[in-house]
């Protein structure tokens, strides 16, 4: 379980990115952060692995205040997948997947063995292992990103718009894949997206943010759809819904 | 024996059992004749079992004397008159022997000159035959008669040397401007003179072009330019008896004609300095 | 051709000297540019100071610097160190901006993701930022290498001989062949260095596809313009 | 007397400020040489650079060629040309023009190439002629880099004319080569100071010019923070759907 | 009316971008090109203002083969709006809008007057006139782009993913705005998008392309939805439709 307690983040330049946030992210479920650009989703996500530290308030993982944890170690224990995959362009696919085990000092052969298994898990042909990221398609890169996120077998997986940069067809495929994976692995997934459709599709819980990192509403998709907390929620959901009169 | 022409190879040595210490470093001024002489000394030393290397192209007198003083080099071929003027600007000696004797006392302690050679190579003022005829100029004194402004082609340091622009003014009352050509009175200086860019050129007396270009060397009635015998300037540290003995032999064999021939080989036949040096040593049975 | 037969030993020696004089400044300039380039990106003030300092350094003509160094660093006047130090400074001045730009141009997302998966600061610098700036650094290094090889020749004016010896000797003896030998020799050395660097880059950075490398090259040609 | 106080004394000595070979004379000569060199180099390199940048043609030849030009030792070139053409300004002038061409050329083509292809494309699509795209879009946007190229060429030219004074020439290099044989540090250092000052003043003027010629709209769009961008995801275009090819 | 007659385009590198295309674009309507990335939409659009010339076949505007027309003049007579607006960064907003009239030699004062009117038309505050593009938000830039496209009062307006780079909320707003504009102006609009939702929303006619610039189906939205020509059309429409089980 991840818990935000009265968390506020003000950047040095004065931007108030997160405002007094209280939020509980349940374990073994997919929680989706959604909101328009600049609403603080990424900032909040990054507080979980201490890429950003709160200005005030605290973040707890399983009741431990993470401010007391060593950031580098914490990060290695949490999977992180981002848009454009964030792969290391100078490392082969297999080395990219094995990044964290290798950092942790696991032997190369062993780390690679595990990485090959992960390639199967995320549906990548093993023959791609010695390619460089630039030699993969966008969808393949994202799969590598997910595999890397899973390599240290973390309990928590943070995903920041992981499918934001791929083709709609590939995107649909990856969404299905993610759902399958999650059924098998049961990680605590925090997933950021712009796309309300995507949020409703894959989220067990959806958290909608207003600009300034203000929580608009949090709950299962059905709740947001049937009982929107306010006009903002309604209009946000409407903007993302099909607008064609034909449906 | 085929001694290496390698100027940088510090282990270049013809004979095996050389002196145990560090080798003798022979420096040279940045003009070809001096470089050839440096090779003559170094090759002779090597031939006699004394390790010697050459550092050519150091620059002009101030530069290589500074290099001698800071120990970068041990030995350099020099010319008595100019060296005397360098150490003692007020020197009055004129004849070859007087200059040499004065020089021996003028050289600062820690350094010395070895025996002078018969060979001389002096700075000399030259004009074209046409110029000489037109203005009736045969000596430096005659330059006063020339009405046009005078330009002299010479190395840049000519601007300050006692036998250069200042001497011309003080000794002969002639005002001239310098066209600095950094080739040590070489082919480009000659070209500037024959091409009409300048009226006067400072050319070393051993330069073959003086004859081949039919130049007129102006006489120096006031002996502004001192006698210029070739002489090795050496640091005491390097001047072992063995070194001295070898160099004295070389000095004894060196004539002005030899210098002219060497210069011909360099500037006309384009032979390398080391090669010319070896050929000369062989011709004198010193190699 | 006769000339080569008679002078090959000397030519070889000057070529070796030229190579020997060229390598240290390139290496030193590059090595110093790394920490300073990093520092230049770290703070706004340090960037301004370092980069304008490099600009001023590069504006100093080489010859006076060669001549003055003995009085500044206490070397002997024929010490090759005078040329080495001066050329190292130029190499640094040229390289600094490129290194700073190269490091700055590393994709922010990649750095971020490296941090996110648990790279510490040092490890990230050497394991991620440095290799990724590689193509830009390499391109800068090539410019530095070429210009250093060419500048070494000026050392001959103060008696630190290289192939530049042939320029002065050729001038004094009115012997264009020697000047040609000096020029062509210098070009060949520069070309060989360039080939070695390019090859080394290809071996060390197998991930640089043609496209990425070309982009990096372009970046640097721009950086070099403003160096 | 240490060389620095000597140099100051040399610089301040009124004797060096009048007459033949005076500081003002050498300075004027130096500036004149540089101006002539740069004007010629610009006449050659700028049109060529614009052409390469605009058409993308000839890049494969010109880029390695300018690289090779950079490797050409100027002293050697100066001497070779002097042996060929004799005394006078022409031999070093040619060598220095050769030296000045690569940076100016690179500035011109890099400048034009740096213009966002989208902008160029949009200009064509709205009905600019090819000439219009070049003169009204590419050149204004490339101007900072073009001036940057000229700036770096100028600095090199200022520095290298001093080396070229190995030949019988005027200019500030005279002080170096005249001082060198007699190890007159005061004169050499004084001369160096003059060259450096000249370079710095000129560089400063260029910095101002470069700021002046940078289009206001470009300054407005420039990211002010010099640190590594950590918010890059935000600045990136919203590739909401599929990425552009 | 714009007509493509047996148009094929092969790029010099061998890419076949458009294959034997026959298509009629009716006047005074919005025709939307949709298809996945690389399917040739942009290439086909650019043939209309001769930014690309066909390898074979011909393009006719009002029965005139445009190959006979002077490209520069043709382009000035056709509005063009693109993603990322393609504004000239060194010109102010007002000068950007007035680009084509200024090129046509209209006096500055007059061109600006018309440009100010267009700012009203596209819903831009006149106070923004002296800003540079970089000082505007993405949505504002797109509005400037549309205004520039309209400045010469063209009959034809080509729009290449004009809203591809803006926020979903802003995007929805711009879509509404475009529909309003079109009601008022009645131009012949050719609109390229990736987004099938957007296509159905604003298109009077939708043209779906397969990779290689092969026409998959063309017709009013209802026709594509109700009578998809083949599986490709069905799957493309499905991928873009809401997938949440909740709807
Ligand atoms: N390092 C930073 N310094 C200053 N402001 C920042 C920084 N990082 C983010 N911000 C600001 O904080 C706010 C929230 O940013 P954040 O990236 O969390 O939004 P987001 O919801 O992830 O947006 P997007 O959907 O565009 O990714 C924005 O206004 C952003 O500009
Ligand atoms: N100038 C060009 N040279 C070579 N190939 C090109 C060129 N322009 C486009 N192509 C290729 O033609 C095909 C069609 O490209 P086009 O840009 O028309 O596609 P698109 O449908 O607009 O794609 P997107 O949705 O990504 O914008 C692609 O395979 C593309 O790579
Ligand atoms: Mg974000
Ligand atoms: Mg397109």
Averaged pLDDT, groups of 10, chain B, 287 residues long = 41 34 86 94 94 91 90 94 89 90 94 94 94 94 92 91 91 92 88 93 93 93 91 94 94 94 91 93 90
10 Å Cβ neighbour count for B1?
10
Which ligand is closest to the CA of D235, given by its number? Answer: 1
Contact status of D182 with chain B (Cβ, < 8 Å): yes
Q: Measuring from atom 14 of ligand 2, which residue has the nearest CA?
A: E40
Contact by Cβ (8 Å): B254, B283: no
Atom of ligand 1 nearest to the CA of A46: 18
Q: Is the pLDDT of residue C217 over 90?
A: no
Give the pTM: 0.82
Confidence label for A216 from pLDDT (cuts 50, 70 and 90): very high
CB contacts, 8 Å: D140 with chain E: 90
Q: Is the pLDDT of residue E215 over 50?
A: yes
Do chain D and chain A touch with ≥3 beta carbon pairs under 8 Å?
yes
CB D110 to CB C222 under 8 A? yes
Evaluated on CA atoms A14, A18, A22, A24, the torsion sign reads negative
The predicted-structure confidence for E82-111, as pLDDT tens digits, reads as follows 887 789 999 999 999 999 999 999 999 999
Q: How far is CA C95 from the centre of its chain?
A: 7
CB contacts, 8 Å: D191 with chain B: none
Q: Tell the residue number behind the tokens 């007659």, with chain if given.
A: E5
Q: Tell the residue number behind the tokens 């297999």, with chain if given.
A: A94
Helix (H/G/I), strand (E/B), else coil: B163: coil
Percentage, residues of chain A above pLDDT 90: 63
Angstrom distance (rounded) from CA A210 to CA A224: 14
Looking at per-residue pLDDT, the higher value among E52 and D21 belongs to E52
Backbone angles phi, psi at B106, to 5 degrees: -80, -25
Provide the pairing of β-strand B24-29 with A205-210. unpaired
What integer pLDDT is reported at residue D242 of this predicted model? Answer: 23
Angstrom distance (rounded) from CA C217 to CA C226: 14
The predicted-structure confidence for E138-188, as pLDDT tens digits, reads as follows 888 989 999 999 998 999 999 998 887 777 777 888 898 899 989 988 999
CB contacts, 8 Å: A42 with chain D: 233
C144 closest CA partner among C71, C66, C208, C224? C224
Angstrom distance (rounded) from CA C69 to CA C85: 8
Given ligand 1 and candidates A41, A51, A54, which is best to mutate, with the most ligand atoms within 8 Å of its CB?
A41
Which ligand is closest to the CA of E17, given by its number? Answer: 2
Helix residue ranges, H only, A87-157: 93-97, 99-103, 108-121, 138-150
The CA distance from A145 to the nearest CA of chain C, in Å, is 10
Q: Which residues surround ligand 4, an ion (CB under 5 A)?
A: E 42
What integer pLDDT is reported at residue E174 of this predicted model? Answer: 86
Helix axes C130-151, C176-204, angle to 10 degrees: 170
Q: Measuring from atom 17 of ligand 1, which residue has the nearest CA?
A: A42
CB D196 to CB C108 under 8 A? no
CB A103 to CB C128 under 8 A? no
- ∠ CA C39-C203-C105, nearest 5°, is 30
What integer pLDDT is reported at residue C57 of this predicted model? Answer: 84
Ligand 3 centroid to residue D84 C-alpha, Å: 67
What integer pLDDT is reported at residue D1 of this predicted model? Answer: 54
Average pLDDT, chain A: 89
A35 Cβ inside 6 Å of ligand 1: yes
Ligand 3 centroid to residue A31 C-alpha, Å: 15
What integer pLDDT is reported at residue D86 of this predicted model? Answer: 84
The CA distance from E101 to the nearest CA of chain A, in Å, is 36
B85 closest CA partner among B93, B73, B74, B77? B93
Average pLDDT, chain E: 90
Average pLDDT of the segment spanning C161-190: 94
D89 closest CA partner among D33, D50, D144? D33
A83 Cβ inside 6 Å of ligand 1: no
* Token pair of B115 as six digits: 């025996």
What integer pLDDT is reported at residue B231 of this predicted model? Answer: 96
CB C117 to CB A91 under 8 A? no
E215 Cβ inside 6 Å of ligand 2: no
| Closest Cβ–Cβ partner in C7, C79, C156 for B57 | C156
Cα-based distances in Å from B73 to B25, B157, C14, C73, E107: 5, 22, 19, 20, 80
What integer pLDDT is reported at residue D235 of this predicted model? Answer: 29
Confidence label for A25 from pLDDT (cuts 50, 70 and 90): very high
- List, as one string, the DSSP characters of B33-67: HHHHHHHHHHHHHHHTT--EEEEEEEESHHHHHHH
Which ligand is closest to the CA of A37, given by its number? Answer: 1
What integer pLDDT is reported at residue C215 of this predicted model? Answer: 59
Confidence label for C226 from pLDDT (cuts 50, 70 and 90): very low
Provide the pairing of β-strand E188-193 with E205-210. unpaired
- List, as one string, the DSSP characters of B172-188: H---EEEEE--SSS-HH
Confidence label for A19 from pLDDT (cuts 50, 70 and 90): very high
CB pairs under 8 A between D and E: 95
E39 Cβ inside 6 Å of ligand 2: yes
Contact by Cβ (8 Å): A210, A232: yes
Q: Is the pLDDT of residue C106 over 90?
A: no
Looking at per-residue pLDDT, the higher value among A37 and E1 belongs to E1
What integer pLDDT is reported at residue B211 of this predicted model? Answer: 92
Given ligand 2 and candidates E15, E32, E162, which is best to mutate, with the most ligand atoms within 8 Å of its CB?
E15
Going by the DSSP 8-state scheme, the letter that residue D229 receives in this structure is P
* Token pair of D116 as six digits: 């966002």
Q: Is the pLDDT of residue A242 over 70?
A: no
Contact by Cβ (8 Å): C78, B55: yes
What integer pLDDT is reported at residue B136 of this predicted model? Answer: 93
Atom of ligand 2 nearest to the CA of E46: 18
D234 Cβ inside 6 Å of ligand 1: yes
Q: Is the pLDDT of residue A195 over 80?
A: yes
Global ipTM: 0.79
End-to-end CA distance of chain C: 41
Atom of ligand 1 nearest to the CA of A161: 27
Q: Kindly give the parts of chain D with pLDDT less than 70.
A: 1, 220-245
Q: Is the pLDDT of residue C68 over 90?
A: no
Ligand 1 centroid to residue A38 C-alpha, Å: 5
The CA distance from D57 to the nearest CA of chain C, in Å, is 15
CB C112 to CB A100 under 8 A? no
Helix axes A168-185, E231-240, angle to 10 degrees: 60
CB A166 to CB D238 under 8 A? no
E38 Cβ inside 6 Å of ligand 2: yes
The predicted-structure confidence for A69-113, as pLDDT tens digits, reads as follows 999 999 999 999 987 768 898 899 999 999 999 999 999 999 999
What integer pLDDT is reported at residue C40 of this predicted model? Answer: 92
Task: Provide CB contacts within 8 A for E211, sequence distance 6+.
Answer: E35, E36, E38, E39, E40
Backbone angles phi, psi at D226, to 5 degrees: -85, -15
The CA distance from D181 to the nearest CA of chain C, in Å, is 9
Q: Is the pLDDT of residue A243 over 70?
A: no
CB C174 to CB B67 under 8 A? no
The predicted-structure confidence for B265-284, as pLDDT tens digits, reads as follows 998 888 999 999 999 999 99
CB contacts, 8 Å: C177 with chain B: 270
Torsion of CA B104, B105, B107, B110, to 10 degrees: 100
Scanning A146-165 for CB atoms below 8 A from D yields 160-161, 164-165
Confidence label for C219 from pLDDT (cuts 50, 70 and 90): low
A37 Cβ inside 6 Å of ligand 1: yes
């Amino acid at each position: 379980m991840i818990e935000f307690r009265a968390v506020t983040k003000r950047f040095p330049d004065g931007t108030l990115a997160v405002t007094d946030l209280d939020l509980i992210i349940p374990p073994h479920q997919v929680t989706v952060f959604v909101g328009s650009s600049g609403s603080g989703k990424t900032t909040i996500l990054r507080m979980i692995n201490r890429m950003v530290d709160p200005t005030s308030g605290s973040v707890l993982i399983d009741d431990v205040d993470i401010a007391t944890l060593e950031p580098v170690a914490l990060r290695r224990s949490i999977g992180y997948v981002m848009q454009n995959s964030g792969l290391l362009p100078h490392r082969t696919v297999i080395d990219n997947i094995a990044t964290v085990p290798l950092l942790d000092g696991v032997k190369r052969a062993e780390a690679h063995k595990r990485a090959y298994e992960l390639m199967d898990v995320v549906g990548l042909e093993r023959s791609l292992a010695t390619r460089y990221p630039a030699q993969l398609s966008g969808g393949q890169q994202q799969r590598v990103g997910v595999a890397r996120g899973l390599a240290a077998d973390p309990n928590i997986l943070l995903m920041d718009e992981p499918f934001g940069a791929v083709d709609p067809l590939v995107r649909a495929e990856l969404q299905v894949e993610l759902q399958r994976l999650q059924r098998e692995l049961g990680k605590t997934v925090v997933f950021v997206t712009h796309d309300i459709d995507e949020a409703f599709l894959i989220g067990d819980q959806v958290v909608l943010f207003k600009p300034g990192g203000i929580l608009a509403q949090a709950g299962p998709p059905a709740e947001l759809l049937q009982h929107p907390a306010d006009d903002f929620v309604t209009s946000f959901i409407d903007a993302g819904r099909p607008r064609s009169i034909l449906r | 024996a085929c001694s290496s022409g390698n100027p940088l190879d510090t282990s270049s040595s013809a004979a095996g059992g050389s002196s145990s210490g560090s080798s003798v470093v022979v420096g040279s001024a940045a003009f070809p004749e001096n470089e050839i002489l440096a090779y003559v000394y170094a090759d002779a030393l090597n031939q006699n079992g004394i390790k010697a290397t050459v550092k050519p192209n150091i620059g002009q007198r101030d530069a290589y004397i500074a290099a001698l003083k800071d120990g970068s080099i041990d030995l350099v071929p020099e010319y008595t008159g100019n060296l005397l003027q360098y150490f003692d600007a007020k020197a009055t000696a004129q004849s070859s022997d007087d200059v040499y004797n004065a020089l021996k006392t003028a050289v600062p302690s820690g350094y010395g000159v070895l025996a002078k050679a018969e060979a001389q190579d002096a700075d000399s003022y030259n004009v074209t035959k046409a110029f000489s005829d037109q203005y009736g100029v045969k000596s430096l004194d005659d330059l006063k008669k020339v009405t046009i402004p005078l330009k002299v082609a010479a190395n840049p340091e000519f601007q300050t040397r006692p036998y250069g622009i200042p001497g011309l003014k003080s000794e002969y009352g002639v005002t001239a401007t310098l066209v600095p050509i950094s080739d040590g009175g070489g082919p480009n200086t000659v070209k500037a003179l024959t091409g009409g860019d300048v009226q006067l050129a400072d050319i070393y007396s051993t330069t073959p072009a003086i004859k081949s270009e039919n130049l007129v060397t102006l006489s120096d009635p006031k002996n502004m330019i001192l006698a210029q015998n070739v002489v090795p300037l050496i640091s005491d540290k390097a001047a072992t008896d063995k070194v001295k003995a070898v160099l004295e032999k070389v000095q004894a064999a060196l004539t002005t004609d030899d210098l002219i021939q060497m210069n011909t080989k360099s500037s006309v036949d384009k032979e390398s300095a080391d090669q010319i040096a070896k050929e000369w040593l062989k011709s004198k049975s010193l190699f | 051709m006769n000339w080569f037969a008679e002078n090959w030993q000397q030519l070889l020696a000057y070529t070796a000297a030229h190579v020997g004089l060229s390598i240290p400044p390139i290496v030193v300039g590059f090595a110093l540019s790394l920490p300073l380039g990093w520092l230049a990106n770290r703070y706004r003030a340090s960037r301004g100071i370092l980069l304008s300092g490099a600009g001023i350094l590069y504006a100093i003509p080489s010859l006076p610097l060669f001549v003055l160094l003995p009085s500044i660093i206490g070397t002997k006047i024929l010490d090759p160190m005078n040329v080495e130090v001066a050329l190292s400074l130029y190499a640094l001045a040229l390289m600094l901006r490129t290194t700073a730009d190269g490091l700055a141009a590393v994709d922010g997302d990649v750095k971020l993701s490296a941090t996110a998966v648990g790279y510490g600061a040092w490890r990230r610098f050497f394991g991620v930022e440095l290799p990724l700036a590689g193509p830009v650094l390499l391109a800068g290094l090539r410019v530095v290498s070429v210009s250093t090889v060419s500048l070494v020749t000026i050392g001959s004016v103060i008696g630190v001989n290289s192939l530049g010896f042939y320029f002065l000797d050729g001038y004094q003896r009115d012997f264009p062949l020697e000047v040609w030998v000096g020029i062509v020799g210098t070009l060949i050395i520069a070309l060989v260095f360039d080939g070695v660097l390019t090859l080394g880059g290809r071996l060390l950075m197998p991930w640089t596809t043609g496209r990425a490398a070309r982009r990096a090259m372009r970046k640097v040609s721009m950086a070099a313009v403003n160096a | 007397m240490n060389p620095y106080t000597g140099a100051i004394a040399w610089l301040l000595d009124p004797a060096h400020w009048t007459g033949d070979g005076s500081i003002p004379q050498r300075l004027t000569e130096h500036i004149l040489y540089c101006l002539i060199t740069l004007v010629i180099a610009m006449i050659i390199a700028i049109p060529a650079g614009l052409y390469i940048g605009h058409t993308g043609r000839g890049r494969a030849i010109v880029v390695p060629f300018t690289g090779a030009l950079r490797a050409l030792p100027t002293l050697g070139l100066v001497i070779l040309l002097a042996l060929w053409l004799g005394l006078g300004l022409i031999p070093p002038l040619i060598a220095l023009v050769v030296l000045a061409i690569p940076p100016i050329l690179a500035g011109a083509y890099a400048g034009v190439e740096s213009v966002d292809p989208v902008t160029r494309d949009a200009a064509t699509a709205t009905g600019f002629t090819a000439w219009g795209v070049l003169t009204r879009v590419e050149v204004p946007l490339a101007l900072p880099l073009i001036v940057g190229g000229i700036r770096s060429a100028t600095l090199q030219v200022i520095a290298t004319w001093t080396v070229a004074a190995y030949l019988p020439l005027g200019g500030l290099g005279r002080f170096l080569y005249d001082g060198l044989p007699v190890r007159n540090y005061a004169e050499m250092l004084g001369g160096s100071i003059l060259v450096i000052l000249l370079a710095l003043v000129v560089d400063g003027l260029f910095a101002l010019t470069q700021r002046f010629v940078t289009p206001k709209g470009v300054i407005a769009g420039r990211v002010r923070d010099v640190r590594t961008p950590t918010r890059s995801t935000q600045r990136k275009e919203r590739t909401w759907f599929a990425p552009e090819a």
